[in-house]
Amino acid sequence: MDLGQISEYCYNLTNSYLEITNQSQVIADTQDAIRLTKRYFLQDIFPRWSPLSSEISFSYNGGKDCQVLLLLYLGCIWEFFLNSLQDTQYDRQYHKYPLRSLPTVFIDQEETFATMEDFVASTSERYCLSLYESLRGDGRKLSMPEAFELYLKSHSETKAIVIGIRYTDPYAADLKTIQPTDADWPDFLRLQPLLHWKLSNIWSFLLFSNEPICGIYGMGFTSVGSIKNTLPNPHLNVDRTGKPSLLFQWEIAHAFGKAEGQHDQVNVSKVSRKDLALLKGSNGKYLPGWYLTDDSLERAGRIKSC
Ligand code: FAD
Ligand code: MG
Ligand code: MG
């Protein structure tokens, strides 16, 4: 699929989720969350910075939150494109989608799981991302502000960057949908239209999407940082959970475009051998990440630095 096709696909996926009726409270809440995110993009953001130019970039690290936001963003860009055609006299078939790839930035900040790196590469192709990966400088990994400073030097047309941060993330409780960066960061606008999403909304939409999900989540991870500070979430250890209950059975069984006979399968990416070897060391077996829906426990697999 080219960028126009995957954008149209995400538009149809989002509409399909919004059309679900008579399902769980989680689905109804997630539909509200989607409508608000769409409003932010289509009414507040796109009239100021066109997503069809290079004024907006997307910050992407393969995590579940920015993947959900990316699916919504692509769908909204398609809707914006369709709306822009209404004002012209020519038929839609005569209009080419003006973008070939989506400006995206990935900061190679810390040593991360090979599965996650593979996932960033494979989804970059799937979603037609033009992925900028930050340079490591003189053997040293750059801090996030340093890396964005360099990015802006080579992408000076960038005015704003989309971020998949949520209110429940550390230090995020007072963030705004649109706000400038802090004084110790390079100067640009932060676009944060996912702030109001809860963990259960993320899993509900992602599992329904039937898009590939990074394999590391299938191993009991719920929030992924560096190899050195991230373990599977202890609250998903099967010795601790007892009889597991899954909130998203319906989403998995009725996932978008799912082939017959695949009803219980979740579309997770392959876990790298390196990570399988690494995980042998962690005690016990874990349920997949989507069994955890308590936002306050999302980062319980992180080892705190002293
Ligand atoms: P995560 O859930 O891991 O990340 C939240 C989101 O941040 C992701 O969905 C993704 O969109 C983005 N992101 C995280 N890691 C990466 C990465 N390695 N490469 C690319 N994108 C990534 N903090 C400040 O204090 N002041 C600022 O002005 C400020 N501006 C920022 C501008 C941008 C564009 C970004 C990406 C971050 C900025 N931050 C700023 C940091 C931000 O508030 C989070 O602390 C940071 O994104 C890490 O999030 P997390 O690991 O807690 O959560
Ligand atoms: Mg996150
Ligand atoms: Mg992070």
What residue owns the CA closest to ligand 1's atom 8? 164
Which atom of ligand 1 lies closest to the CA of 57? 34
169 Cβ below 6 A of ligand 1: yes
pLDDT (tens digit per residue) in 156-183: 999 999 999 999 999 999 999 999 999 9
pLDDT in tens, 93-133: 666 888 999 999 999 888 899 999 999 999 999 999 999 98
CA atoms 270, 275, 280, 283: torsion sign: negative
Q: How far is the CA of 17 from the centre of ligand 1 (A)?
A: 27
**254's tokens:** 């009725």
Q: What is the pLDDT of residue 306?
A: 42
Q: Pick the residue whose CA is nearest to atom 50 on ligand 1.
A: 169
Angle at 289 between CA 285 and CA 292, to 5 degrees: 105
Whether the predicted model's global pTM rises above the 0.90 cut? yes
Kindly report, residue by residue over 234-261, the tens digit of the pLDDT. Answer: 999 998 877 788 999 999 999 999 877 7
Distance from the CA of 175 to the center of ligand 1, in angstroms?
Answer: 12
- Give yes or no: residues 107 and 227 share one domain: no
* 185 in contact with ligand 1, CB cutoff 6 A: yes
Say if 198 falls within a structural domain.
Answer: no
The predicted structure's pLDDT at residue 137: 57
The pLDDT mean for the chain works out to 92
Q: Same structural domain for residues 77 and 161?
A: yes
pLDDT at residue 136 above 70? no
Residue at which a domain ends, from 162, 191, 220: 191
Does the beta carbon of 164 lie inside 6 Å of ligand 1? yes
Residue ranges in 90-155 assigned as alpha helix (H): 114-126, 144-154
> Phi first, then psi: what are they for 287, rounded to 5°?
-75, 155
Give the pLDDT mean for 20-47.
Answer: 96
Q: 181 and 222 share a domain?
A: no
Residues 102 and 145 both lie in one domain: yes
Q: Which CATH number characterizes residue 87's domain?
A: 3.40.50.620
Ligand 1 pocket check for 165: Cβ under 6 Å: yes
Count: domains in the chain = 2
Give yes or no: residues 123 and 170 share one domain: yes
Question: Can you give the residue range of the structural domain that contains 83?
Answer: 3-191
- pLDDT at position 108 is 86
Q: Is residue 86 part of a domain?
A: yes
190 compared with 306, residue with greater pLDDT: 190
Q: Which atom of ligand 1 is nearest to the CA of 161?
A: 34
Residue 295 pLDDT > 50: yes
Q: Residue 73: count other Cβ atoms within 10 Å of its Cβ.
A: 27
Average pLDDT of 224-236?
A: 91
Order across the sheet with 189-191: list the strands.
129-133, 102-106, 56-59, 160-162, 189-191, 178-180
Beta-carbon contacts of 298 under 8 Å, excluding residues fewer than 6 positions away, are 168, 199, 222, 223, 233, 292
Burial of 93 (0-12, 13-18, 19+ CB in 10 A): exposed
Ligand with smallest separation from the Cα of 107 = 1
More confident residue, 37 or 140: 37
Q: Indicate whether 84 and 165 sit together in one domain.
A: yes
